[in-house]
Amino acid sequence: MLFFGLLFFIFLIVIRPQDFVAGVKDTRLVFYTMGILIPAWFLAPFEKKFFQSPQDRFVLMYYIWFVLSTLTLFWISYTIDTFTETLKLALIYFFTVTIVDSERRFKVATWTMVVMVSWVALMGVLQYYGTDWTGAGMMWADDKEVWQIRGIGFFDNPNDLAYSVILVVPFMLGLFFSTESFAVRAGAFSVLYLILYCVYLTHSRGGQLALGVTLLTWTYLWLTDPVWKKRIRVVVIVGIIIIFSVQTGGYRDDESAMGRIEAWVAGFAMMQSHPILGVGKGQFLEYFQRDAHNSYVRAGAELGIPGLYAFIGILFFSFVSLRHAPSEALHQKWRLYHSSLGSFLASYAVGSIFSTRIYDAIFMVMVSLTGILGRLMTQEAREEGIEELSVYLVERGVWNKQVFGLTVATIIIWKLFLVQVW
């Protein structure tokens, strides 16, 4: 029952019926559910292992910095509100990594997430055709002169909606190519079409870029032919060069591009003046008139260098958990999940360059599932007698020289980019 309580908790965070469904609208469903789940979790007769994957420790550090970053504001009520909101995210994450402890639960939790996010995409498409279940309303984009669909909660921005629903794409592709059932393939194709149409209706350029990254990464991870993998790497390199050339050409005449660069300059100044705790979670717009549209910039500015370090550590170890399967048999068994989670993480990492998603609950749930998959593969490898496991998967603490190096490299690249274009 505790596992189904977890799924219901995630349902309330993602679908958010308490915000628009008659009869439960404006009720404190999340609060009541937390009040039931927390005691039930404490009393449940199983060992609560909070730190089974390296990213678990970085997530905890990340959440702690959410709250600590607000202390310099000397605004007690805001710190309390931040703690409350952070607690919801922390409970989802650590409930997931402690409760989802088997292959069956992992698959149920993963596909439940896929179904719920698909439902969010369906509500977005229906909104375009006049059936607005959530009541969020479409958003007019002055720069594009188009109406953009959106959702509620974590999806109230069209860009966030596009970035989030993309996680369904690799799972539908994997399902389509891993089965011979016509009915399953037809269902996977229908959902895939729905997601692609939803991304199109958001008119999010960043979402379209993230979609392209997802498709390329999924193809690379799904294929087993090394020749095709090399070809994809070449395509990626050429694509990056072309995109960089197109996007940077005449950028000084692009008001939107210059606005973002100004925000990145302001973000660097915030990190310099508040290197340890940052300016505070959610305070970027108090220091600059527009959003940075960059998760790395926002993390450094609002949470300081330790917060940026924790954010990069989460990404780094999530990729490490999916680096490779210990054996060919395990690769084939987990191929669908390995390629799907890996491609979503790649789209998140690239998309975060052009969007602010450092407080995204969908991302954190997928990170938890990534860690769980890494542990399941590790356990099965040991049962097969394979002992040559990555040291990263059993590493302790939050200090890691690779993560530190990546953090320093991020700050240096950030600075050099500003020197070059500003």
Query: Residue range 133-145: average pLDDT?
Result: 86
Check residues 196 and 291 and name the one with the higher pLDDT.
196
Task: Give the contacts of 383 (CB within 8 A, at least 6 positions apart).
Answer: none
pLDDT digits (tens, 9 = 90+) for 56-74: 999 999 999 999 999 989 8
Residue 393 pLDDT exceeds 60:
no
Rounded CA gap, 265 and 167, in Å?
Answer: 31
Neighbours of 245 (CB within 10 A): 9
Rounded CA gap, 132 and 196, in Å?
Answer: 19
pLDDT digits (tens, 9 = 90+) for 200-258: 999 998 888 899 999 989 998 888 777 777 777 787 777 666 665 555 554 455 556 67
pLDDT value for 331: 73
Rounded CA gap, 60 and 205, in Å?
Answer: 32
For a pLDDT cut of 70, what percent of the chain falls above it?
91
pLDDT value for 226: 78
The band of 391, judged by pLDDT with boundaries at 50, 70 and 90, is very low
Residue 367 pLDDT exceeds 60:
yes
Q: Residue 149 corresponds to which tokens in the numbers above? A: 């669909």
Query: Residue range 301-326: average pLDDT?
Result: 90
Whether the CA torsion 217, 413, 398, 278 is positive or negative: it is negative
Residue 284 pLDDT exceeds 50:
yes
Residue 416 pLDDT exceeds 50:
yes
pLDDT value for 240: 64
pLDDT value for 420: 77
pLDDT digits (tens, 9 = 90+) for 148-158: 999 998 898 89
Neighbours of 151 (CB within 10 A): 27
Query: Residue range 11-26: average pLDDT?
Result: 89
**Under DSSP, is residue 23 helix (H, G, I), strand (E, B) or coil?**
coil
Residue 115 pLDDT exceeds 90:
yes
**Under DSSP, is residue 281 helix (H, G, I), strand (E, B) or coil?**
coil
Query: Residue range 271-299: average pLDDT?
Result: 92
Query: Residue range 397-413: average pLDDT?
Result: 92
Task: Give the contacts of 27 (CB within 8 A, at least 6 positions apart).
Answer: 18
pLDDT value for 374: 86
pLDDT value for 256: 62
Rounded CA gap, 360 and 173, in Å?
Answer: 24
pLDDT value for 387: 58
Residue 191 pLDDT exceeds 80:
yes
The band of 392, judged by pLDDT with boundaries at 50, 70 and 90, is very low
Strand partners, 146: 141
pLDDT value for 356: 87
pLDDT value for 22: 85
- Domain spans of the chain? 1-45, 53-99+271-422, 109-249
Q: Residue 97 corresponds to which tokens in the numbers above? A: 């990594």
Residue 148 main-chain phi, psi, to 5 deg: -115, 135
Indicate the average pLDDT of the chain: 87
Query: Residue range 112-133: average pLDDT?
Result: 95
Q: Residue 398 corresponds to which tokens in the numbers above? A: 């939050």
pLDDT value for 8: 93
- What's the pTM value of the predicted model, to 2 decimals? 0.90
pLDDT digits (tens, 9 = 90+) for 21-41: 888 888 888 888 888 988 988
pLDDT value for 324: 67
Rounded CA gap, 114 and 112, in Å?
Answer: 5
Query: Residue range 332-359: average pLDDT?
Result: 90
pLDDT value for 237: 73
Neighbours of 395 (CB within 10 A): 15
Q: Which amino acid is at 88?
A: K
